[in-house]
Chain A
């Protein structure tokens, strides 16, 4: 027997207009964590989907457990002992956690000649699994009662319960808190101790260096190489991913904040356990960061300002004038835009083209004779966005759901750039985005601010906020615990404020 549990050799896969995989190889040893890295659209998810039977590979071999196999569909993959946690979650919110874990392979019992689902066994098994993994959820609870990051943990529990020999984790930590990431790593270590092989996809360097044994890097659908992780440095990975030297992670500052222009006063949520007494003000041309741990209610506050959530009190002022914002339409008409955190949920229009996805918020800016859309002008705007943000796509007519996660995010950013808002709120703008594209997005943020736009960036990545912001506001459990600038903009100070009310 070979030393590998899985070998993928010379895998090729094309979609109309794109060669997503071009002779890519990957070798996984049992008990190892093998990380897969590469820019957005490099083909990481596609390679894994070929392994999991979602896509059919055009060419190449998959050798699993010493034998060449063909995997026809995900069910087949699970039967063979391959489990996958997807980049885009597919939770069934209205069913219990236990049902989500055992979906499609419910335990059954016999009542006479009829097979029925054994709910008791399912619930107790699920509970045992959750307890074993140290996740404090009740198995009978509806999945929808959990937060996004908790759902992700359930999804991971589901993969573990499949008793697989290979587990694929496609960007599992994109919405996890630091504590939850530790939990996940603990789970991974237990799996590998049992001899299970883990394929791990992430854009977060520190995680990769911490957890993996080997790292394979891809670029534009091509295999670049595989290295043991203790030989790697962040700089080396970035250079291989991007294909060139990337000197700094953050562009030089070019904006100079002016007078205070955007004010938020006394925001109180209709919900008891959400934000309370929130007031802050931002200057013209300022990049204003909002830090805090997941659950600090930053998203909720921003969405309330934008008219998406109910408030019992709260006023927004721009240039000294009170803005009446009842819904997003009002906010947009007053020059405020929000890039939401939940890309799939309320960001993209999956079945629509990139062009429609970019133009949707600014349709009234492209009118001919006041009624008719100027398709030529829209086309120009869209082409410009594709170029400026280097969105990887065969054409502007491609459905957005066919783009890689990071490229979808860039399309949404283009949507709001096209609208040219005065105040742009960005909630986790670089989630799931590769280093090169992050740099591009930071540059855009800097450019907008230098043009006198007001930018608010919500992020869970402290280094990112410190790297680009003029000031950072910190929240904890729904309240603003402080605003730091200058010398005080450091991890320790921010961490201290983020946990102010925690035991």
Chain B
């Protein structure tokens, strides 16, 4: 009998390790790197980490709703890129020599941000949604088509030239800190607001419940009177708006853009979501989990730079981490027997 009790206790420890594998991984590796190089825990580095995470998190949140409804959006990265280019073009300094539209005086940057978000939702979001729902093209392929289309548009729009000379207000905002608190970049505030809105949307509104229902069983959702077509289109619109916002943030953060901005970011966003518990079979996923997933990547990337690991190797390690992290974390969600 006593043997059994101890067995159960041991089981609990294993359970604890499995349930918190990601946090343990992040914390222990951070301590390790911090011991090697104390600058890892410096204000500047942490702020840099938060700024990077902020942008990636907005993209991941955008794609999460689509994933939860069992769809996908491979056009995410390119949409971010195009949005960045559009924002940058509109917000170039009036005296900048190679200005794309020389006669344009830069409007208010927030106005630009909001207009681009609305514009993206109404074009790319709606089109993606219609292609998936009305034309019945599998989301994986349909949004892949959109990916290349958006890239083409970005090339035409920028003339394949990099865009620089952004107005100071814009770049300074992006590199600035919130209320002068060194640790918190302005970008993180935007992301915090987006997270709060999405958390509210997912947990406290009919939209959220319906989204999980569609992911859980699309046929049952329809029978329950949920308009799956409309919901799917709206999910792509929200995604596109957030991709546009991420583009706005990213262009400012980089201080300039090119048509290749944010190339391939969708896969990191999808991986981050999956690590954070968004099931590929739909119906599950939480905002806090997604944040964990995205953080894992960003922390790991910075750690590797600090350890001076060769870029080629960082790719290999990143690949391994994606697989291992998902394998570890998915155990939480697998039904126990």
Contacts and interface: CB of A to CB of B under 8 A. Distances in A.
A261 interface: no
B219 interface: yes
Contact of B283 (A352, A371, A372, A375): A352
Interface in B192-241: 200, 204-206, 209-210, 212-213, 216-217, 219-227
Given A55-B337, A372-B205, A352 B212 contact: yes
Contact of B213 (A54, A360, A372): A360
Interface in B226-284: 226-227, 279, 283-284
Contact of B219 (A331, A333, A346, A372): A346
Contact of B223 (A338, A372, A375): A338
A361 B213 CA distance: 10
A373 interface: yes
A484 interface: no
A471 B284 CA distance: 45
A52 interface: no
A204 to B, nearest CB: 26
B212 A346 contact: no
A363 B231 CA distance: 15
A361 B217 contact: no
Contact of A331 (B220, B225, B283): B225
Given A350-B216, A351-B284, A340 B223 contact: yes
B222 A308 contact: yes
Contacts of B210: 360, 363
Interface in A288-330: 306, 308, 327-329
Contacts of A55: 337
Q: Interface on chain B toward A: helix, strand, loop, or mixed SS?
A: helix
Contacts of B337: 54-56
A55 B335 CA distance: 11
B216 A373 contact: no
Contacts of B217: 346, 348-350
Contacts of A361: 224-225
Pick from B217, B219, B226 the residue with the most CB of A within 10 Å. Answer: B217
A338 B223 CA distance: 8
A327 B209 contact: no
Interface residues of B, number: 23
Contact of A329 (B209, B216, B226, B284): B226
Contacts of B223: 306, 308, 328, 338, 340, 346-347
A294 B212 CA distance: 34
Nearest to B222: A328
B222 A327 contact: yes
A11 B287 CA distance: 42
Contacts of A196: none
A346 B216 contact: no
Contacts, number: 76
A360 B226 contact: yes
A359 interface: yes
A139 to B, nearest CB: 29
A243 interface: no
Interface in A348-372: 348-352, 356, 359-361, 363-364, 367, 371-372
Nearest to B215: A351
A359 B212 CA distance: 12
A345 interface: yes
Pick from A331, A359, A361, A364 the residue with the most CB of B within 10 Å. Answer: A361
A415 B220 CA distance: 12
Given A54-B337, A56-B337, A346 B222 contact: yes
A238 interface: no
B209 A359 contact: yes
A373 B284 contact: no
Contacts of A98: none
B205 A349 contact: no
B219 A373 contact: no
A351 B216 contact: yes
A352 B227 CA distance: 19
> Nearest 6 CB-CB pairs, A to B?
A349-B216, A363-B206, A346-B219, A332-B225, A361-B224, A351-B283
Given A306-B223, A347-B220, A349-B213, 19 more contacts: A56-B337, A328-B225, A329-B227, A331-B225, A340-B223, A345-B220, A346-B217, A348-B220, A349-B216, A349-B283, A350-B283, A351-B216, A352-B283, A360-B210, A360-B224, A363-B209, A371-B205, A372-B200, A372-B204
9 contacts: A308-B222, A333-B225, A346-B219, A359-B209, A363-B209, A364-B206, A372-B204, A373-B204, A373-B205
Interface of B: 200, 204-206, 209-210, 212-213, 216-217, 219-227, 279, 283-284, 337
